[in-house]
Structure 1
Amino acid sequence: METFSTMKVKSYAPTGNRISLLRSKSSPESLFKGYGKEFLDSGTSALSIALQHISFAHHKPEEELPEVIVPAYCCPDLVAAALHAGYKPVVVDISKNDPSYDLEGFSAALTENTRAVIAVNFLGIKERFSEIRSIIGSSDIKVIEDNAQWFPETEEQETLSGDYATFSFGRGKALSLLGGGLVCVKNGAISSSSNAVCNASDDSLWIAKVLLIDFLTMPLIYRWVELLPFLNLGQTKFHELRQISGLSSNRKRRVVANVEQYRQRKSASEEIYIERLTEINELSVSKCRRGRLLRYPFLFKNKDQRDNAYREATYYGLGASIMYGRSLPYIDGIAQLEIDTGEYNNAESFSARLLTLPTHSRISPTDALRLVEIVTRNFERETT
């Protein structure tokens, strides 16, 4: 155990960008022009509303339980949204060394009951939309672009790839309001299928929460916060979606100001990782699919390399994370659900070898370079 004299003096949270308290004169309805929009209490709610909207538009009285395709490496909130909307989640493996769907497995999973596919934008890495649409062909299956981990860096990027697109404004997201979400639909309105009500929560309480989170994620403070066992920091669990409401009015008034702040913010650490780690990264993703990254994903050759690098980076408080830690069927709470699951070798291998590096504004270039050195050294180290 570390002595007090050798303990780390600071520790970075995995995410840590500050939230703007300003109220913009521009309405959030100005975002994503040409899309029907609804602002909700969470990204999970946004996904559920998208699925409900699909059912509302295409439901047949004699139809069996509608199915939605989800990747085997993803947040369990996708399952929560599907179950709340009355869908059967169908789990499909991802590609080798790539968070996108295994296309052969994706094609095999489609049935006459498939109504939607959730295409996850993983940390800023887009799904292979053209390939998915080629497999779907002329069927009426809808593609939901799940952007919980990404937000457009420019106004020009607001042309979306899915029939529906969802965003999350939760803590630690690209655009954070400590909660909230957005669902968009091309060429139509979304609110007709939703009973969501916009709740007017106390503005001063929300501001207090923002200031508290900002304080607790300061590196000199966070090193003590992460020692509290009851917070369960970094643990991924399934949480049932019980109800849906609209985005609170105080958060909605601050959406545009936070979009503007996000787009003005630069990430020196992300540029350092891309420049120095891309050539050795086992992650096989073309540059054209990579947008601005919520965290930098690095894929090691094996689990031992990843675990050694994670322990070392954690020891020095550098904010590294292993994300979900396991493939979807092994996440706490999923096994108890009545979902058909099998073996997803690529997803399980991916989860065992993935380490993500922080890109938020509190990470100094010096500490980003320390992370590069740790990752590089462990990647080159032979393991048994």
Structure 2
Amino acid sequence: MATFRSLIRGIIHGDLPPVGEKIIWRGKPKPLPTYEGFDAYWVDSGTSALALTIIAAKQLHPEVENPEVIIPAYGCPDLVAAAVFAKVQPVLVDIGKDDPGYDLDQLENAINDNTIAVIAVNFLGISDRLAEIKAVLPNNILLIEDNAQCYKAISMPDKIIGDFAITSFGRGKPVSLLGGGLALIKTTYRGKINVTNIIKKPKRKAVATITKAIIYNLLLTPQVYWLINRLPFLKVGVTKYKGLEEIISLDTYKEKIITANIDQHLASKQHPGYELANAANLSSLYKDRLIHPLRIPILNNNQSTPPEHQLKNLGITQLYKKSLINIDKVDNIVSPGQYKNASDMAKRILTLPCNHTVKDTHTLAIKGLFS
């Protein structure tokens, strides 16, 4: 009976989609935004953008024979893929306890003569302690801000602390074009690096972009997303390692519509998802580091996770279910280690939607699951 009721509810109400903004795929083209103090490289994905900055860091350190880049032990495996493409060894460093940012002591201990850069990840809108990271880095080590999950952090170039910064326009990102990325490199490095020859010409045609955008917008309808969310062969939300094969320039059609989508995102109002906070809510504990959250992360302190159908109905996801060291293929690339805090976060973290599709009834239901 409970299963039948769940089925009827899904058909009527659907599942909350993970994001709320639909793609603006038509309208008058607008010029690409500029970022004072930085040269902008528009490419096909956030992974490509990150790889480009690692390559730039490598070019600035030609004296290092076996370059390494430090990445957090909990995060997207694309971090590893970008380093591999750049032919730089990724080195994992554990995050803090109940904190998606680095354990600063472990970060400092991991730095050696081969380290050329540290990647600091903005996690769902929670920035790392960038000023403190910069303070522990020797002057020759570069800082890369990975803002793939928070466009607003990159929209304020005067507040960028890193030498490089990137964002993503992929599926489910704050500004989504179902593909695309942006790498910002400080203008002070002009003449010292050359990454343009790495970027290949785009292959995608406008009709493919438009078709995918229309389908994506349809999938954001709760009733349609409910169906997609329950087809196991689609593997919605599965985290896996996928190597990067090439860096391609952002196609011309996406260049025409990207600014309109950026403007839409920056003008959007966040649902008061902060009301969902409990004692383990990361956005509550680190609210001074929170910038326009993509989703609200919490650490589940309950002994058991609520039933899967309830989580899906309310748009609750487990995000990365494993720390990087435990993801297939990644474990063969990085050095083995325990990474206790990353493992703990992978087991406990859940993320809640905070877009305009969330209603007060959803908020009350979510609170009920974790009370």
Correspondence for 2:19: 15
Correspondence for 1:313: 310
- Provide the C-alpha distance between the structure 1 equivalents of 2:235 and 2:203, rounded to a whole number of angstroms: 30
Query: Are residues 1:197 and 2:194 paired?
Result: no
Correspondence for 1:299: 299
Correspondence for 2:122: 121
Task: Report the alpha carbon displacement of residue 200 of structure 1 after superposing the two structures with TM.
Answer: 5.6
Are the counterparts in 2 of residues 170 and 180 from structure 1 also a CA contact under 8 Å? Answer: yes
- Provide the C-alpha distance between the structure 1 equivalents of 2:125 and 2:351, rounded to a whole number of angstroms: 12
- Provide the C-alpha distance between the structure 2 equivalents of 1:178 and 1:251, rounded to a whole number of angstroms: 10
1:1-384 superposed matches below 5 A: 3-7=3-7, 8-9=9-10, 10-23=14-27, 25-28=29-32, 30-60=33-63, 63-137=64-138, 139-152=139-152, 156=156, 159-187=159-187, 188-189=189-190, 192-194=194-196, 195-199=198-202, 201-268=204-271, 271=272, 273-278=273-278, 281=281, 285-301=285-301, 304-305=303-304, 307-308=305-306, 311=308, 313-314=310-311, 317-335=313-331, 337-375=332-370, 377=371
* TM-score where L is the length of structure 2: 0.91
Are the counterparts in 1 of residues 297 and 352 from structure 2 also a CA contact under 8 Å? Answer: yes
Structure-2 change in CA distance of 1:199 and 1:237 (3 Å) = same
- Provide the C-alpha distance between the structure 2 equivalents of 1:193 and 1:156, rounded to a whole number of angstroms: 24
- Provide the C-alpha distance between the structure 1 equivalents of 2:87 and 2:53, rounded to a whole number of angstroms: 12
Letter paired with 2:144:
I
Q: Secondary structure at the match of 1:115?
A: strand
Letter paired with 1:313:
Q
Letter paired with 2:185:
V
Q: Secondary structure at the match of 1:131?
A: helix
Correspondence for 1:382: none
Letter paired with 1:38:
Y
| Number of residue equivalences | 364
Pick which of 154-163 and 248-257 moved more.
154-163
- Provide the C-alpha distance between the structure 1 equivalents of 2:280 and 2:169, rounded to a whole number of angstroms: 32
Deviation readout 1:188-224 (Å, 9 max, x if unpaired): 4498223213426321221111111111231111111
Pick which of 171-180 and 281-290 moved more.
281-290
Structure-2 change in CA distance of 1:354 and 1:224 (3 Å) = same
Task: Report the alpha carbon displacement of residue 55 of structure 1 after superposing the two structures with TM.
Answer: 1.2
Task: Report the alpha carbon displacement of residue 2 of structure 1 after superposing the two structures with TM.
Answer: 5.0
Letter paired with 2:57:
I
C-alpha root-mean-square deviation of aligned residues, in Å? 2.2
Are the counterparts in 1 of residues 283 and 296 from structure 2 also a CA contact under 8 Å? Answer: no
Task: Report the alpha carbon displacement of residue 248 of structure 1 after superposing the two structures with TM.
Answer: 0.7
Deviation readout 1:266-300 (Å, 9 max, x if unpaired): 122xx1x3134155536774322111101100112
- Provide the C-alpha distance between the structure 2 equivalents of 1:155 and 1:46, rounded to a whole number of angstroms: 16
- Provide the C-alpha distance between the structure 2 equivalents of 1:125 and 1:5, rounded to a whole number of angstroms: 37
Q: Mark the runs of 5 or more structure 1 residues left unpaired by the alignment.
A: 378-384
- Provide the C-alpha distance between the structure 2 equivalents of 1:327 and 1:114, rounded to a whole number of angstroms: 22
